[in-house]
Amino acid sequence: MMNDTALRTQSRADLERFYYQTLRIRRVEETLIELYPSDKIKSPVHLSIGQEAVSVGVCEALAPTDVVFGTYRCHALYLAKGGDLDRMMAELYGKVDGCGRGKAGSMHLVDLSVGMMSASAIVATTLPHAVGYALAQKMKRSDVVVAVFFGEGAMDEGVFHESINFAALKQLPILFVCENNHYAIYSHIRDRMAGENPCERARAYRVPATRIDGGDIVRLHETACADVAAIRAGGGPRFIECETQRWRDHVGPDEDRKIGYRADAALDRWIADDQVRRLAALLPEAARHAIETRVERELAAAVDFAERSPFPPDAELYEHVFHG
C-alpha cells in the first residue's frame, strides 16, 4: 500500500511533521475511546482512526489563510488544519470554553482563526457551502484556496453534481477531496456506484482528478501541493480521491467486526499497513520520542482544560440564535 521508498526520500522535517500530526490525531481519538464510557463526552463521535493521513497530507499543502470544509468525521481535519486542541476537547465535553461554546459537539467543530469552517452532520451539505465560499474568493480576486472534504457516499447526492459542475463552469479555486473509505455506513461502494471510480465522475465535469491508492501520504501530499498551486494560479478546481479505511465503527468508539459487513482480512491488511507506524519507523529514536512526549503533554493538558472548564450557563441558550 504505502510506498516506503517514497517515504524515505522525504525530508526529515516533512517526516517529523507528518508523524506529529498523524500521531496526535491518533492519540486524541484513542483517548476519546478511553473517556467515552465515563459519559464525560457529551456528543456522538465519528472517529478518524485509520484515516488520519488524508487530512494531514492535504492540509500540509495548504496555506494558513486557506480554508477547509468537512464532514461529521472532522476531528482529523480540525487538528490537521491547526484547530485548537484544548477548545476541541472542551467542546466534546460540552463545556463553555469549547470551540462551539459547548453547543456544537464532535460533528460541528470550527476554528475560523485557522480556516476551519464549521463541519456538518448532514451528508454532502458542506459541498455547496464550500463552492459558494470559493465563488466569493474569485469575485474578490483573492488567492485563497478552498478545500472541501467528503466521503465517497456524498457523491451519490445530487448536490455533489450541482456543486462540482458549477465549480467547473466558473473555474473556482476549490479542491474536492474524496475520502474513499469504501463504505457509506455499512454499504460498500460497489453496491452504490457502477465502476467504483469516483474520479470518472469528476472528470465528466472536466475537473482534473487523481486517485491516491493505499493511503499513501507522500503521494497524496505531493498531489495536493501540485493541485493547490494550480488552483491558486487560476487553473480552476481539482479533485483528489484518497483511498483509506476507518478502523472503528461508523459512529462511536467500538469495533464493528461482529456486524460482518466487511471482511476481517481486508481490514487487517489496512491495519498492518498503518501509516502512523510506518512514519515512526523512519525517524531516529530520539526524534520519535520527542514527538511522542510532546503529543502526550499536549493531550494531557487538553483533557485537563476540558475537565476544568465550566458548563455553559442557562443564558447561553439565548446566545447566537437567529430571530427575525
Give me the tens of pLDDT residue by residue for the chain, a chain 324 residues long: 455 555 556 788 999 999 999 999 999 999 999 999 999 998 899 999 999 999 999 999 999 999 999 999 999 999 999 999 999 999 999 999 999 999 999 999 999 999 999 899 999 999 999 999 999 999 999 999 999 999 999 999 999 999 999 999 999 999 999 999 999 999 999 999 887 899 999 999 999 999 999 889 999 999 999 999 999 999 999 999 999 999 999 999 999 999 999 999 999 999 999 999 999 999 999 999 999 999 999 999 999 999 999 999 988 888 888 877
Domain range for 233 is 4-309
- 314 within some domain: no
Residue 280's CB is within 10 A of a number of other CB atoms, namely 18
- 318 within some domain: no
In the chain, the largest separation of any two C-alpha atoms, in whole Å, equals 60
pTM comes to 0.94
- 317 within some domain: no
- 170 within some domain: yes
- 37 within some domain: yes
Q: How many domains does the chain have?
A: 1
- 171 within some domain: yes
Residue 148 C-alpha cell reads as 472541501
Q: Residue 240: which CATH number?
A: 3.40.50.970
Cα dihedral: 243, 248, 251, 256 (round 10): 120
- Strand order across the 238-243 sheet: 67-69, 146-151, 174-180, 238-243, 209-212
- 323 within some domain: no
- 22 within some domain: yes
